[in-house]
């Protein structure tokens, strides 16, 4: 059980009211959306991707790349916006990433991304909002 306290907290009822059933399953129950199912996978405009749970900016579009996995992928997050934990589910050891402000599950980070970081933040699109640059 996660006992970490986040700056933004909500009751289960408040989360359910704020999120769609799919967002709730992903963000609060560590689920995964079906690959290729989110329109943000194809988003190419300049702008910022933020957390659906608390509106914190998470990723800048200039660091988004096509990974071929079916989920939006990024090289690097906005500094301080992402925290990680070890995920041992499904018989694997992965690095889970979640929002540092509200603790919502976003996806996982892998060490198979392109330069300069070599990282691939593989993020569930339903956990993101997109704000185009002005």
Domain locations along the chain: 35-130
How high is the pLDDT of residue 89?
A: 82
Mean pLDDT within 50-62: 97
Instruction: Choose among 99, 120, 121, 105: nearest CA to 32.
Output: 105
Check residue 1 and give its pLDDT: 45
16-51 pLDDT tens trace = 999 999 999 999 999 999 999 999 999 999 999 999
* Residue from 38, 51, 54, 122 carrying the catalytic annotation: 122
The mean predicted confidence, pLDDT, of the chain is 94
What local confidence, expressed as pLDDT, does residue 2 receive? 56
51 is catalytic: no
For domain 35-130, give the fold: 2.170.150
Instruction: Please name which of 101, 111, 127 lies closest in space to residue 32, comparing C-alpha atoms.
Output: 127
Q: What is the pLDDT of residues 1-11, one digit of tens each?
A: 456 789 999 99
State residue 91's pLDDT score.
86
């Amino acid at each position: 059980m996660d006992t970490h306290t986040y700056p933004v907290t909500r009751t289960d009822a408040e989360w359910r009211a704020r999120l769609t059933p799919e967002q709730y399953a992903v963000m609060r129950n560590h689920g995964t959306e079906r690959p290729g199912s989110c329109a943000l996978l194809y988003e190419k405009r300049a702008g910022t991707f933020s957390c659906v749970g608390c509106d914190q900016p998470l990723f800048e579009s200039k660091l988004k790349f096509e990974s071929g996995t079916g989920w939006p992928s990024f090289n690097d997050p906005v500094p301080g916006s992402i925290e990680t934990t070890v995920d041992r589910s499904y018989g694997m050891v992965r690095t889970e990433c979640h929002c540092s402000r509200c603790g919502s599950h976003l996806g996982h980070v892998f060490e198979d991304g392109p330069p300069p970081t070599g990282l691939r933040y593989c993020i569930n699109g339903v956990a993101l909002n997109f704000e185009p640059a002005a």
